[in-house]
Amino acid sequence: MRFGVVGTGAVGRRVVRLLAGEDAEPVAVCGRSPAASAEVVRAVPATVAAGLSDLLGTDAVVLATPAGTHWPLAVQLVRAGVAVVSTSEGPAEVRGLLALDSTARERGVPVVLGAAFSPGLTCVLAAHAASWFDTVAAVHVARQGTGGPACARRYHAALGRPAWIRSGGRWLRRRGGSGRELCWFPDPVGPADCYFGALAEPQLLIRLFPSASEITARRAADRQDRLTCRLPMLSPPHPEGGLGAVRVSVSGEAQGESTQRVLGVAHNPAAACAAVAASAARCLAAGEAERNGAVGLAEAIDPLRFLSALTERGIAPVIFEGVGL
């Protein structure tokens, strides 16, 4: 298998490490500059610095650059017949990448969108939870924590931008920072107030659950986040982020009864994002994609098999279960 990785930040470096050394072909690394690529190549064996033209001969390329930079790269790769894995979490960019569907199908390659911690792992958890239901009525997603600096800036800005949610079977626009809800994340993260924001999950989840009447996505925020979300970040983001978590609540009918399932994962967001993207790239390079074209991660893979692969990498989902008093 021949892999390429574009991006040498907190996520990109981890993706390179996960893909390198397991196959005969060196991983092609394309950074924001030759110096950035060379730094990663020196640190990780079985890698080689590459330009965009070098990536056109690979089997799958992971785009791990900041949101807003993926579309032009994806266009060139798809036209060359290269499978693409995008970690972008920007709603506008996800819409743009979905527009590549017809071109990707003509070229016979998959373009996997939102292959990150959130979206990505959240969508796979929702797809897996849906296997317990006869019909799905609602999916609610929440997220806590960020990866590298670019992720932190995007996460910060999302709270100040309008959110689109599915409610009552209709798309509704909600003000960013509204919709407060206390969400319980897996230990040791615990509870946090979460709010609507410009998040990509709803437009990906509706593709999985077209008949669902409720689909929402929220992010955790404190008072300072809400007051400053429309301003530049007050202090530089941490280069590696910290512990984060996602939770996915799915409700519907099973055997004639209304029921609910809640799944979650607590992990370093950058590490989890890298594991998701690397696992997706391996699936595409091995020809295991469910179909070609531009699709969300959960549409492209078998959810249970994918979660099993992530568990082997130390990212273990948990199920919330009620305890009687």
The string of DSSP codes covering 210-265 is: TT-SEEEEEEE--HHHHHHTTS--SSPPPSS---EEEEEEEEEEETTEEEEEEEEE
Question: What pLDDT is stored for residue 9 in this prediction?
Answer: 92
Q: How many C-alpha atoms does 35 have within 13 Å on its Cβ side? A: 0
For residues 78 and 231, give the distance between their C-alpha atoms in angstroms, rounded to a whole number.
Answer: 36
For the stretch 289-314, pLDDT in tens is: 989 999 999 999 999 999 999 999 99
Q: What's the pTM? A: 0.94
Report whether 206 contacts 212 (CB < 8 A).
Answer: yes
Average pLDDT of the residues of the chain = 92
Classify 4 as helix, strand or coil. strand
For the stretch 227-244, pLDDT in tens is: 888 888 767 776 777 899
Q: Structure tokens of 159? A: 């709270």
For the stretch 110-126, pLDDT in tens is: 999 999 999 999 999 99
Question: What pLDDT is stored for residue 238 in this prediction?
Answer: 66
State yes or no: pLDDT of 322 exceeds 80. no
Higher-confidence position of 67 and 5: 5
Query: Partners of 83 in the beta sheet?
Result: 60
For the stretch 35-70, pLDDT in tens is: 989 999 999 999 999 998 899 999 999 999 988 899
For the stretch 206-219, pLDDT in tens is: 999 999 999 999 99
Report whether 103 contacts 80 (CB < 8 A).
Answer: no
